[in-house]
Amino acid sequence: MLVNSYSIESQNEVSPFIPEIVKKFPNVRDITISPNGDEIMFTAQNIMGTISTIIHVKKDHDGFKNPKVASFSGKFFDLEPFFSHDGLKLYFVSTRPLDGSINKAKDFDIWYVERQTISSNWSEAKNMGNPINTEHGEFYPSIAKNGNFYFTRDNPKLKRKDDIYLSKYINGILTEPKALPNIINSDGYEYNAFISPDESFLIYGCYNRKDGLGSGDLYISFNTKDGWTEAKNLGNKINSTKMDYCPFVDFKTNTLYYTSKQDNSKTVFKNPLTIETLLNEFNKYDNGLSRLYKIKLDKTTTGKL
């Protein structure tokens, strides 16, 4: 499987990402890595998904350790962070009220925090406002190097499920968002779109498609001179029979990160389980809970699937 100028070869295997940190939380989903590679943000949730908080982890000489609740999170339902390409701004999704003095949650909007330098503290959260946010739900920000802003919107008025939208960045202004063409979107669910910095490809989630492996799968579409190509399933090395979603590509390390609820729990046992073996099975990494995974992308000379 080729991903633009990268390929997912058979010798590369999917592996857990920061499992010692991820297993501290019931569910972990969506990830963003700072441009310098020294910071990670991800979302931690409870089993039922009613609590959702953004976690911040910084790298030291021993690697990534000591996760903390991000300074701007922990009070409201927050998720889906994304670093700007200079690392000085972080976009995320939240149901926090526009008026901080009101505790009643609103619909999902895209917010951001910013900082003066990489070592500075984050500002107070700011709502992106028009034209990105509406009375509908907006999710999963992803930004190209030229400032073009991709995200998911749930607009019930269209009598469709979630679609992926693009707001072009022209003369310093984000324009009115438009849904990507139907070769990307459909009457079903399209969501969690990661745009490559040069806009050459889009990896995103699709739910219950005919060529899917089960539940939600990750697909890829290439942006050519003739427009977007038909989305292709990323295959069973990445996608499982469970929910696979929330892609992020780190181009410095040529790594695809994503979230999966893959479940490889044993269900038949030769001998009766002891309490120790039972708990080991319950607590294994790929036990059906939402976890982070990664796979290395190999450089290649072609960008075709």
State the Cα–Cα distance between residues 186 and 196, nearest whole angstrom.
21
Please tell me the pTM assigned to this model: 0.93
Laid out side by side, the sheet with 178-179 consists of 137-143, 149-154, 163-167, 178-179
DSSP secondary structure code for residue 123 in this structure: -
259: phi > 0 → left, psi -120 to 50 → alpha, else beta; which?
A: beta
Say how far residue 232 (Cα) sits from the centre of its chain: 18
The angle at the Cα of 259, spanning 154 to 208, to the nearest 5 degrees, equals 55
Question: Which among 115, 110, 111 is positioned nearest to 34, based on CA atoms?
Answer: 115
C-beta separation of 291 from 14 below 8 A:
no
pLDDT of the chain along its 305 residues, tens only? Answer: 555 556 666 578 999 999 999 999 999 999 999 999 999 999 999 999 999 999 999 998 889 999 999 999 999 999 999 999 999 999 999 999 987 666 666 789 999 999 999 999 999 999 999 999 999 999 999 999 999 999 999 987 777 789 999 999 999 999 999 999 999 999 889 999 999 999 999 999 999 898 999 899 999 999 999 999 999 999 999 999 999 999 999 999 999 999 999 999 999 999 999 999 999 999 999 999 999 999 998 765 334 33
Quick one: 11 exposed, middle or buried, by C-beta within 10 A (0-12, 13-18, 19+)?
A: exposed
Say how far residue 156 (Cα) sits from the centre of its chain: 23
Laid out side by side, the sheet with 6-7 consists of 2-3, 6-7, 298-299
pLDDT at site 295: 95
